[in-house]
């Protein structure tokens, strides 16, 4: 496995943990910092690929869509600074 493939796999796993936290009842605000760290320096295409990998791995689409709420909150915060 290449370094880039391993990095992608680690990010997908980290996103899976964020989705699981949301599923267990954590709020967008509670997972926002973790999500920001995961997607730092990641292209929109890679975020999309990671989300698809989560779906392919059995995470329901609805749960992955909740990540969009986190992502939108991060952008909103950035615009307000």
CA angle 22, 30, 78 (to 5 degrees): 115
pLDDT at 26 over 80: yes
Segments making up each domain of the chain, as ranges: 3-80
pLDDT digits (tens, 9 = 90+) for 32-47: 888 888 877 777 787 7
Backbone angles phi and psi of 24, in degrees to 5 = -80, 0
pLDDT digits (tens, 9 = 90+) for 47-75: 788 788 889 989 889 888 887 777 777 76
Q: What is the pLDDT of residue 50?
A: 78
Q: Annotate 29-55 with DSSP letters as a single string.
A: HHHHHHHHHHHTT--HHHHHHHHHHHH
pLDDT at 18 over 70: yes
Tell me the two tokens of residue 5: 């493939």
pTM listed for this prediction: 0.70
């Amino acid at each position: 496995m290449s370094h880039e493939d391993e990095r992608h796999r680690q990010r997908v796993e980290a996103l899976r943990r964020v989705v699981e936290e949301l599923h267990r009842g954590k709020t967008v605000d509670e997972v926002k910092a973790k999500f920001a760290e995961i997607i730092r320096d990641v292209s929109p295409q890679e975020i999309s690929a990671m989300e698809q990998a989560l779906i392919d791995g059995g995470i329901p689409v609805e749960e992955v869509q909740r990540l969009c709420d986190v992502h939108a909150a991060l952008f909103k915060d950035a615009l307000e600074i």
